[in-house]
Amino acid sequence: MEHLSSLCCSLIWLLLFQFYVGSSVVLYRQHHHNNNNNNPNHRSPILQGNQTSCSLFMGTWVYDETYPLYQSSSCPAIDVQFNCQLYGRPDTEYLKYRWKPANCELPRFNGLEFLLKMKGKTVMFVGDSLGRDQWESLICLISADVPKAQTQMSKSYPISTFKFLDYGVTISYHKAQYLVDIDTVQGKRVLRLNDIRGNANAWRGVDVLSFNTGHWWTHKGSSQGWDYIDDGGRMYEDMDPLVAMERGLRTWARWVDSNIDRSRTRLFFQGTSPNHYDSSVWNGGAATTSGSCYGETSPVTTTLLTGSTNPGMYSDQTNVVQTVIRDMDNPPFLLDITLLSAMRKDAHPSIYSGDLNSQQRINPNKADCTHWCLPGLPDTWNQLFYTALFY
């Protein structure tokens, strides 16, 4: 039975990766040397870069001594949660990996070019803490190229901003884990699947919007972000998370189609960011001693990503995102970072997070395998974002 179960899981993973890339993706490491449906009104996500000649999200992780593109000690924006070097991470090889698409080279990120092309404009990341991870990464990448620029930062709830004053560029993060609204009614948090007006007021007039949502829909117990769900006037204490996610995303999609002027606003949606709490996913179906990302120092090949159904959650969430986007009149560009991020089991804060106390930082069971170190993987997300914006 165990053999049969393992075989089934492997087949599931083969189908999953065919769904993502249509062919195998392999890791190359240079160590120190070197359907639409038939309705004509339904459209696939539009790549604003040159997708015909470059499959941005299918490729390899390459070891590159010129990385990282900045140092954590020189960036003014990194939260303690993501500052792995400051909190004692002893290894540095995870900083050295560069994403190389299978049939092209990504342009190297240029912070000055970003500011010049975005002069006088606004960028906003909207979503959960993974969006905050990416927001801080973008600030770090730009700041490294313009170290003498006059800046201004405000971190607050629900919107934090960073301004490059010499260029009139404002980059913001809006915390909105579900995108749709949450209200407090008689002391209870009510998630409104059909209402987005409160959050959406912050998005009007922004020149570049990048949305993400995913992790919070599956949280249970003390980490659940709501007490009740309001779906069309009916109140629920629980609901299938994928059903709730799709209904919330369709509310977001209707708002975007009705309110975003695509002639002036560039629109992105970030694919689901995977976590690495189940080491059987990349260890041939057998868990490592720690059972999670703790102690991991190098990426993984897709050929090893077998033996667990845990990533199937991300496949399901990806299906929801793609289905909703496909049905939109004005779909965003989908930054499909799920698979390339799934390979980076080495890039999480693990126990090297400032959110942990000294005792927790010696306990592998407290490892943060959801967020990402800075510098680190979100820099690649932003390199892809930069490529789609300008190339």
How far is the first Cα of the chain from the last one, in angstroms, to the nearest whole number? 51
Query: What is residue 45's DSSP assignment?
Result: P
Q: How confident is the model at residue 305 (pLDDT cuts 50, 70, 90)?
A: low
Q: Which residue has the higher pLDDT, 227 or 9?
A: 227
CA 124/CA 104 separation, integer angstroms:
28
For the chain, give the percent of residues with pLDDT over 70.
83
Q: What is the mean pLDDT of residues 328-342?
A: 94
Does 34 map to a domain? Answer: no
Strand partners, 185: 188
Q: pLDDT by residue (tens digit) across 174-217?
A: 999 999 999 999 999 999 999 999 999 999 999 999 999 999 99
Q: What is the mean pLDDT of residues 248-257?
A: 98
Q: How confident is the model at residue 76 (pLDDT cuts 50, 70, 90)?
A: confident
pLDDT of 47 strictly over 80: no
> Angle CA(193)–CA(368)–CA(199) in degrees, nearest 5?
25
pLDDT of 124 strictly over 90: yes
Q: What is the mean pLDDT of residues 260-276?
A: 94
The catalytic site residues sit at 129, 368, 371
- pTM of the full structure: 0.87
CA 218/CA 142 separation, integer angstroms:
34
pLDDT for res 212: 97
Q: What is the mean pLDDT of residues 228-253?
A: 96
CA 323/CA 320 separation, integer angstroms:
5
16-30, 32-46, 164-178: which has the highest mean pLDDT?
164-178
CATH number, position 208: 3.40.50.1110
pLDDT of 103 strictly over 90: no
Instruction: Give SS3 for 310.
Output: coil
Q: CA separation (Å) from 153 to 139, 148, 161, 162, 378?
A: 10, 15, 6, 4, 20
For residue 154, the number of C-alpha atoms closer than 13 Å in the C-beta half-sphere is 10
Does 25 map to a domain? Answer: no
Does 13 map to a domain? Answer: no
Mean pLDDT of the chain: 86
CA 246/CA 51 separation, integer angstroms:
27
Does 226 map to a domain? Answer: yes
pLDDT for res 297: 95
Q: CA separation (Å) from 96 to 30, 93, 356?
A: 10, 5, 25
Q: What is the mean pLDDT of residues 85-89?
A: 96
Does 45 map to a domain? Answer: no
Does 3 map to a domain? Answer: no
Given phi > 0 = left and psi -120 to 50 = alpha, else beta, which region is 221? left
Domain that holds residue 356: 59-390
336: CB partners within 8 A, 6+ apart: 20, 56, 57, 271, 318
Does 23 map to a domain? Answer: no
pLDDT for res 315: 79
CA 99/CA 101 separation, integer angstroms:
7
Question: Max CA-CA distance within the chain?
Answer: 65
Closest residue by Cα to residue 384 from 307, 292, 291, 269: 269
Domain count of the chain? 1
pLDDT of 15 strictly over 70: no
Does 141 map to a domain? Answer: yes
pLDDT for res 291: 87
Q: pLDDT by residue (tens digit) across 133-169?
A: 999 999 999 999 999 999 999 999 999 999 999 999 9
